[in-house]
Amino acid sequence: MLLGQVAVILTPPFHPAHAGEPYKPHLELFVLTYGALVAQLCKDYEKDEDVNTFLDRMGYGIGVRLIDDFLARSAVKKCRSYSETADMIAQVAFKMYLGVTPSVSCSNTAGNEFSLILDKNPLVDFVEELPAERASLCYCNLLCGVIRGALEMVQLAAEVTFLQDRLKGDAVTEIGITFLRKAEDRKHKRNK
């Protein structure tokens, strides 16, 4: 499975004339393709950690490309705080590409750690449960890489990991985002 194929399924060609129009990605095709990708990786790699790393790196490559598509389709303004950025990821980006809106909470007093809580995760729509021998697999780890790659392209370094996962029996699915630089250090590539 090639990075380009997954990226094209998620982001079909966009024309600026359609900015602001409702966007319908080929979500079901993406979800099914993603499942096939993870299944293949599990055949190729014995260790869950290697599959997780592969998915994160692949997601990073997608995120680096996806950010231009996101900025063009959404026409959003530059965020002024980590909190705004976390809200934008949840309310605009997740809604746009996955059709769901995670809830966002800040998890530390420094204001640079956030949790995205997903009640519904379309990426696992066709997954019942993880096999017992794949207990450390982060099935949706691609998403962490996508977020990390997209943020890096707007000069925001971040660590992104799954903190909880319903596929592993947790009560919710939770993605943790830790912004690594001070907001004032940002040199925006956009000047909107």
- Rounded to the nearest whole angstrom, what is the least distance from the CB of residue 163 to ligand MYR in the complex? 16
- Rounded to the nearest whole angstrom, what is the least distance from the CB of residue 45 to ligand MYR in the complex? 24
8 touches ligand MYR by CB under 6 A: no
Identify whether the C-beta of residue 90 lies closer than 8 Å to the C-beta of residue 102: yes
DSSP 79: P
Question: CB under 6 A: which stretch of 26-34, 44-52, 72-80, 131-139 binds ligand MYR?
Answer: 72-80
DSSP 171: S
Site string for ligand MYR, 125-144 (x = CB under 6 A): ------------------x-
Identify whether the C-beta of residue 105 lies closer than 8 Å to the C-beta of residue 115: yes
Give the one residue of 37, 41, 79, 86 binding ligand MYR; rule: CB under 6 A. Answer: 79
Identify whether the C-beta of residue 58 lies closer than 8 Å to the C-beta of residue 142: yes
Considering only residues 142 through 181, tell me which ones interact with ligand MYR, judged by CB under 6 A.
Answer: 143, 146-147, 150-151, 154
Determine the size of the site formed for ligand MYR (CB under 6 A).
19
| Pairing label, strands 173-179, 113-118 | antiparallel
Question: In Å, how far are 76, 99, 107, 139 from 190, measured between CA atoms?
Answer: 11, 26, 28, 33
Dist CA 137 CA 123 (whole Å): 14
Question: CB under 6 A: which stretch of 15-23, 29-37, 84-92, 126-134 binds ligand MYR?
Answer: 84-92
Q: How many CB atoms lie within 10 A of CB 105?
A: 12
Helix (H) or strand (E) holding 128: none
Question: CB under 6 A: which stretch of 17-25, 35-43, 75-83, 110-118 binds ligand MYR?
Answer: 75-83
> What is the contact surface with ligand MYR in residues (CB under 6 A)?
66, 70, 76, 78-79, 85, 88-89, 93-94, 97-98, 143, 146-147, 150-151, 154, 190
